[in-house]
Each structure stands twice: as C-alpha cells, then as structure tokens.
Amino acid sequence: MNEDERKALAALRFDWAPVPDDVWRPSPFHVEGLHQGVVNDVLAGMADAKASKDASPLGLILKGRRGSGKTHLLGWVRQQIQDQGGYFFLVSLLDAKGFWDSVLASMLEGLFRAVPGSDTQLRLFLRRLSSVVGAPRSARRAVMGETELTPAALDAFLLGLGDYDRLVARECDDTARALALSASDNVAHRDLAENYFSSEPEAEPGERAQWRMRRKPRTAQEIVRELSKLLALTGPTVIAVDQIDTLISQSSVASQDGQQPEPANTDDWAQMLVLEQIAHGLMALRQDTRRTLTLVACIPPSWMLIKNRATDTVRDRFREPEELLTIRDPAIARSLIEKRFAHSFRLVRFSPPYPSWPIRPEAFDTAAKFTPGSCSSRSTHTSATAC
C-alpha cells in the first residue's frame, strides 16, 4: 500500500448515526431499490395527498430496527414532497402530555427551514398563496415580505383569501395573519406572531386589535389544524413523527412480544397513560390535518405496544408497510458503500483502482444479513484488511 492509498483510507471518516438535522440536508448517498416496497407505499400516500382536495390519506408506520435507514428515508421523503411543491415537517415528541405543543413547535420550526436551492417553506407558502388570492399586488407583496406589512395590506389580502375560500379564511383568519407577521422583517411583528403561536395572552393590551386578531389565545391543536388547512390550499404536506421510541422506553412497559398484561399498580397505569396519550395524539393528527400524509418512524416493539395496549381506533388510521429489513441485494450494498467512499475520496483527490476499493466486490455477497447502517459501519472497520 502506497502513501496515497494510506491517505485515502485515513479520509474514510463517517457518521453512521444520523441526527434529525440530516433529514433537512440533501443526501448524496441515496441508493435506488433500497426498501422499495416501503418507498412505493410512501409515494402512493404522497400522491393521494396531492390529488385530494382536503382529506388526508391513511398514515404509514415506518418500522425498522436501529440502523435500518429510517432517518435516511425521511430525508428522501422530504426531498420528494418538496420537489412536488409540498411541505415537510419533522416532529420530535418530547413529552406525551405535550403532544400538540411538540407538533406545533416542530411545524413552526419547519416553516423557517430553507428548501435546498430555494427560500424557506414559509416564504414559499406565502408566495404560492399570493398567486391564487385575488388581492391587490401591493397587498400580496407586503404579505410575502417584499414590502412593509401594514394592517391595511393584511386586511386586503385576507379579503382576497375569503373570495378564494371563504370557509378557510373565516376559520383560519388569525393564524393566516400571524403567518404574515412571522415573515415580516419587523421584529415587533415577529414578536407578536410568536406570542400568538405560543398560545399566550396579549403581551400588551390591544396589540392584536390593530391587526384584527382576537385577544383570546388559540390552543396548540387549533393552530396546528388551521396551519394544515392553510397549507392545503397550495399543496400537500408530509408530517413525519420521529423519535417516539425514547418516550415508549421510558414508559417501562416495552416487552419484546408486545403482550398486554393487566396493569398491577399505579405505576403501570401511568405507563398505560403515556401510550394512550401518544396513540390519541397520532390518531387526532391524522384526523385533524388536510392533504397530509402522516408518517411514524419507530422500532417495531414501539408500534406493537401502541397498537396492542392503546385505543383500537388508532389502527384504523394507519397502515403498516413491510418492515425496513436488512439489505437483500448485494448490488445495493455495494452501491451504498461506493457512493460513500467516492465522497471521501473526492475530498483528497484520490482515484481508487475500483469503485468499492478497498472492499473487494465479492465481499458484498454476504451483505444480505446487514442493515444499511451496520453494512456501512462494518465496511469501514474492515476496509484496511479487505483489500
């Protein structure tokens, strides 16, 4: 092995544990054909949401053990729905009792996420909404954040929204106004919107009145419902609920077989309550949103506990595609490694003797027993001795 090859091997540094922020970044490592059955179900769900006028398709449970590629799949879904003119939100549940607070906070954070190569989801939404609302151009420009936002401009815009969809304009008036204020360059406008989205009373008496917003706070669930109705006017949405496994494991009832023993004490009833809160939240999320595909990413035991211990009706609102399993095609495993290696080799300007170097092509014949994460990790650890 020469010096250039040693430097190339030293450059193979990977992060095999994706974090939620990775979902929002373009991935150069996607391999077609991986988990194709699940991919087809997700694509069909997105197509149903896009074709619908208001109803949402059944949600999907993305089950797979750790390292099976759930986070990577969510990143791919984000890119797909945004490429179709839709919106993506990643929800992390921090507290079962605060389900709707978590969903709302995640949606607001997602609105300010930039679509790769474009503007934020909020700006894109306001731009698309402005293209269908019959309001004066000056009002539309103000709402899009291109010029100063004034109460008169916002009133004119909401009047145009009422002409386009009277029911949505009536039900979501305050939330639509708060979104426009959120996009403003004026700090006071953004503070007013943040106060509204926090379901807090007015910071100063009368501050909402000048913008024709009601003083009474809206609940987080009401705001989520209204955000979804507004977004549905311009395109489909995917809401992905991730990281619920920690909450489930903290309930201390995670059995491997998903059986349903009777609660024996107060602690068991408290644990059951956590599962019920999560189940009811997921059920209502699918029910309350419009043109929205709800995805739940979790390990199989977590969904078994929710399905077997919580309310029966949650099963009626979600479908279970096949589990994200190990890599079944050696060619897919090889392509996965080649793409990751190529990225590192380009950084050090190294041209390998063959794309999977230093892993011999025949080594991938045994990859069927590995998940994408374990395959990549194992390849890295063995690369020094495989060539």
pLDDT at residue 353 tops 60: yes
Give the pair of three-digit tokens for residue 318.
């979600």
Instruction: For residue range 214-230, list pLDDT tens digits in order.
Output: 988 999 999 999 999 99
Q: What is the pLDDT of residue 371?
A: 54
Instruction: For residue range 161-217, list pLDDT tens digits in order.
Output: 999 999 999 999 999 999 999 999 999 999 999 999 999 998 889 999 999 999 889
Q: Are 213 and 245 found together in one domain?
A: no
307 touches 59 (CB < 8 A): no
Q: Are 136 and 67 found together in one domain?
A: no
Q: Which of 173, 200, 230 is the last residue of a domain?
A: 230
If one counts every other C-beta atom within 10 angstroms of the C-beta of residue 122, the result is: 20
Q: Which of 206, 230, 254 is the last residue of a domain?
A: 230
The domain that holds 75 is classified in CATH as: 3.40.50
Find all residues with CB under 8 Å of 142, minimum gap 6, and list them: 148, 149, 150, 153, 154, 157, 180
Prediction pTM value? 0.82
355 touches 342 (CB < 8 A): yes
Q: Are 127 and 221 found together in one domain?
A: yes
Q: Which of 173, 197, 230 is the last residue of a domain?
A: 230
Find all residues with CB under 8 Å of 32, minimum gap 6, and list them: none
The domain of 375 spans: 3-15+327-386
Long-range contacts of residues 196-200, Cβ cutoff 8 Å, at least 24 apart: 197/104, 197/108, 197/223, 199/223
Q: Are 225 and 126 found together in one domain?
A: yes
- Residue 201 resides in a domain: yes
Instruction: For residue range 26-41, list pLDDT tens digits in order.
Output: 776 666 656 678 999 9
Distance from C-alpha of 269 to C-alpha of 251, rounded to nearest angstrom: 10
- Residue 357 resides in a domain: yes
- Residue 279 resides in a domain: yes
Distance from C-alpha of 292 to C-alpha of 234, rounded to nearest angstrom: 12
Q: Are 226 and 249 found together in one domain?
A: no
Query: Pairing mode, if any, of strands 292-298 and 318-319?
Result: unpaired
123 touches 140 (CB < 8 A): no
- Residue 332 resides in a domain: yes
Residue entry with tokens 């201390």: 252
How many CA atoms within 13 Å lie on the side-chain side of 329?
10
Q: Are 214 and 244 found together in one domain?
A: no
Distance from C-alpha of 240 to C-alpha of 70, rounded to nearest angstrom: 11
Instruction: For residue range 327-344, list pLDDT tens digits in order.
Output: 666 666 666 676 777 777
What is the number of structural domains in the chain? Answer: 3
Find all residues with CB under 8 Å of 273, minimum gap 6, and list them: 96
Instruction: For residue range 267-286, list pLDDT tens digits in order.
Output: 567 667 878 889 999 999 99
Q: What is the pLDDT of residue 147?
A: 95
Q: Are 264 and 170 found together in one domain?
A: no
Confidence band, pLDDT 50/70/90 cuts, at residue 383:
very low
- Residue 38 resides in a domain: no
Q: What is the pLDDT of residue 308?
A: 83
Distance from C-alpha of 46 to C-alpha of 293, rounded to nearest angstrom: 6
- Residue 49 resides in a domain: no
Q: Are 314 and 365 found together in one domain?
A: no
Give the pair of three-digit tokens for residue 19.
């974090």
| Local structure of residue 313 (DSSP, 8 states) | G
Q: Are 174 and 224 found together in one domain?
A: yes
108 touches 183 (CB < 8 A): no
Q: Nearest Cα to 183, choosing from 125, 227, 135, 99?
A: 125
Q: Are 220 and 242 found together in one domain?
A: no
